[in-house]
Structure 1
């Protein structure tokens, strides 16, 4: 494999997916203490990114599975998931308040424990929606690289997905960061998802924005 292509692939992946580390850290924090949550998050991340690669490769070969005009509307996915997560967090807090729980943090942890962490489909949906604009960057690069170069880019990207998952889990398990995420993660995750959704919609000009 050409070292030049590897370096270019690493740089391209890092630039287009830097925000995923924050999302992964939030997901890992949310799934802390739930058996199998790491596996589900990693599976969802791979499913979402493989879908991005599949669309980008198909478009590089001239297929039009995803019209360019439809890309901005992918922002509806993280927006909907963010609103759902926010509603669930508000509902859990209200329920805990009604129960007269003296320790609010314990109540939040118990509520999160009942959720079992994010599902693979949830992670995959947000990964794909958040990477919708990546497709426009990957397509011309893949088309210019040819079949061999495209395969190299895809292989490096798939390895880096695992690196990104490890980085997200690392940040989520650092004492200071883990404490902050445990305390505020139920608020941060909906806010980040809603912000990502709105950003995708506005930057893409969806609904005439």
Structure 2
């Protein structure tokens, strides 16, 4: 039984988090060459995903920390971070000319965590009914599998960011792509959720 649930957990995690690999690869590209990059990204990813799981588990037991009307507004987090990254990239471009990559720094733990949480806010709506029907034992299997797969996702993001062809493209364009992806992600969350009557 728990083996079947573990398999279902793997599929559910992969389907609901496939877009995270792109964001993680961009974060790795942003922090390339900094010692704390992997640690910050892994810690931020775990922190953000643990928050998603905490809300989903609590909601499965009947608590409602995030009303459904609030979830679309989580899109404001990546939108704000994307705008901030775009402004920083623009300033660096003005200061450094074409070599805007030089001034990049490792992404912060809270930056990664907030993007992870905002990006996974809609996942909460998927996880809650699954967790509620799985019962306490089944839910614990889902949580353990999900937390193990976070490490796999971080490794996959790092893997893609360090492939020579991808790394070269991310090195050249990552400082532009990260703000675009974060702004797009934020707008998508806002629009799909119907925030502000969109």
Q: TM-score, normalised by structure 2?
A: 0.98
1:192 aligns with 2:181: yes
1:159 aligns with 2:148: yes
* CA–CA separation in structure 2 for the residues paired with 1:117 and 1:35: 8
- Which residue of structure 1 aligns with residue 118 of structure 2? 129
- Which residue of structure 2 aligns with residue 58 of structure 1? 58
- Which residue of structure 2 aligns with residue 33 of structure 1? 33
Q: TM-score, normalised by structure 1?
A: 0.93
The Cα of 1:90 is off from its aligned counterpart by: 0.5
Alignment of structure 1 residues 17-166 onto 2, 5 Å: 17-97=17-97, 104=98, 107-112=99-104, 116-166=105-155
The Cα of 1:109 is off from its aligned counterpart by: 2.7
Secondary structure of the residue aligned to 2:24 is helix
Ranges in structure 1 where 5+ consecutive residues have no aligned partner = 98-103
Q: Check the 8 A contact 2:27/2:41 in 1, yes or no.
A: yes
The Cα of 1:175 is off from its aligned counterpart by: 0.3
Secondary structure of the residue aligned to 1:67 is coil
Q: What's the RMSD between the two structures over aligned residues?
A: 0.8
Secondary structure of the residue aligned to 1:140 is helix
* CA–CA separation in structure 1 for the residues paired with 2:184 and 2:101: 24
Secondary structure of the residue aligned to 1:131 is helix
Q: Check the 8 A contact 2:101/2:175 in 1, yes or no.
A: no
Q: Check the 8 A contact 2:36/2:106 in 1, yes or no.
A: no
- 1:96-129 Cα deviation digits (max 9, x unpaired): 23xxxxxx2xx223221xxx21100000000000
- 1:68-103 Cα deviation digits (max 9, x unpaired): 110000000000000000010011001123xxxxxx
| Structure 1 runs of 4+ with >2 Å offset | none
* CA–CA separation in structure 1 for the residues paired with 2:139 and 2:42: 23
- 1:166-185 Cα deviation digits (max 9, x unpaired): 00000000000000000000
The Cα of 1:130 is off from its aligned counterpart by: 0.3
The Cα of 1:189 is off from its aligned counterpart by: 0.3
Count residues in correspondence.
Answer: 198
- Which residue of structure 2 aligns with residue 100 of structure 1? none
